[in-house]
């Protein structure tokens, strides 16, 4: 008879994400994950098979739980959704800086191969959602070009959040960026 599992997969993911977020994939040891989750090595490996697989599961969970899908799908579609999406980059859990996914991209060559596929899949989803909000809007550039600019700006915001700029400065950047993209009425 097997041991009774005293943890849930989701609980482990919620507790492991901040560790990977703060330390990065390569600087996070199994001992760090054991301490943060309260699950020993055999329990972690029994559930996830490896540190690599745990990281990939954390990344997938992070993408699934982010509010950007709802923000970019709200009706009516348009610039308001884009603005809310960009402003959401400032919202991070207590004690964290930047964006877990964007911070992780800095170490892409060190990440498990499966992580690249998770990033690629979510990038496609994000581009589609942003593009849906741009299509039909009055723009100077093609919607695809605007989508790429928005994503690049968003990634930059995620990295810049690591230097802890005040919210006011962040809000000004988003407003100024949108002023460049949204034609005056």
User: What is the three-class DSSP state of 123?
Assistant: helix
Note the pLDDT tens digit of each residue in 126-172. Answer: 999 999 999 978 888 899 999 999 999 999 988 888 887 677 888 89
3.40.1160.10, 3.40.50.150, 1.10.357.10, 1.10.3720.10: CATH of 66-181? 1.10.357.10
Domain ranges in the chain?
9-61, 66-181
183 pLDDT above the threshold of 80: no
Q: The whole model's pTM is what? A: 0.88
Q: Residue 68 is encoded by which pair of tokens? A: 């950007």
Note the pLDDT tens digit of each residue in 71-105. Answer: 999 999 999 999 999 998 877 777 788 889 999 99
Residue located via tokens 């330390």: 23
The proportion of the chain whose per-residue pLDDT surpasses 90, expressed as a percent, equals: 71
Write out the CATH class of domain 9-61: mainly alpha
How many Cα atoms are found within 13 Å in the side-chain-facing hemisphere of 123?
Answer: 13
164 close to 97: Cβ distance less than 8 angstroms: yes
> What is the pLDDT confidence band of residue 11, given thresholds at 50, 70 and 90?
very high
58 pLDDT above the threshold of 90: yes
Nearest to 32 by CA among 49, 46, 17: 17
Q: Residue 181 is encoded by which pair of tokens? A: 């993209």
Same topology between domain 9-61 and domain 66-181: no
């Amino acid at each position: 008879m097997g041991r009774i599992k005293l943890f849930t997969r989701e609980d482990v993911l919620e507790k492991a994400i901040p560790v990977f977020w703060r330390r990065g994939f390569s600087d996070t040891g199994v001992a760090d994950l054991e301490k943060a989750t309260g699950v020993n090595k055999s329990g972690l490996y029994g559930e996830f098979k490896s540190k690599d697989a745990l990281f990939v599961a954390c990344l997938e969970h992070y993408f699934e739980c982010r509010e950007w899908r709802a923000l970019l799908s709200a009706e009516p579609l348009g610039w308001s959704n884009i603005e809310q999406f960009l402003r959401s980059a400032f919202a991070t859990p207590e004690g964290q800086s930047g964006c877990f996914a964007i911070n992780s991209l800095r170490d892409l060559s060190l990440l498990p191969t499966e992580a690249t596929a998770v990033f690629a899949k979510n990038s496609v989803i994000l581009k589609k959602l942003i593009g849906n909000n741009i299509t039909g809007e009055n723009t100077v550039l093609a919607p695809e070009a605007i989508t790429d600019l928005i994503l690049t700006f968003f990634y930059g915001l995620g990295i810049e959040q690591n230097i802890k700029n005040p919210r006011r400065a962040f809000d000004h950047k988003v407003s100024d960026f949108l002023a460049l993209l949204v034609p005056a009425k």
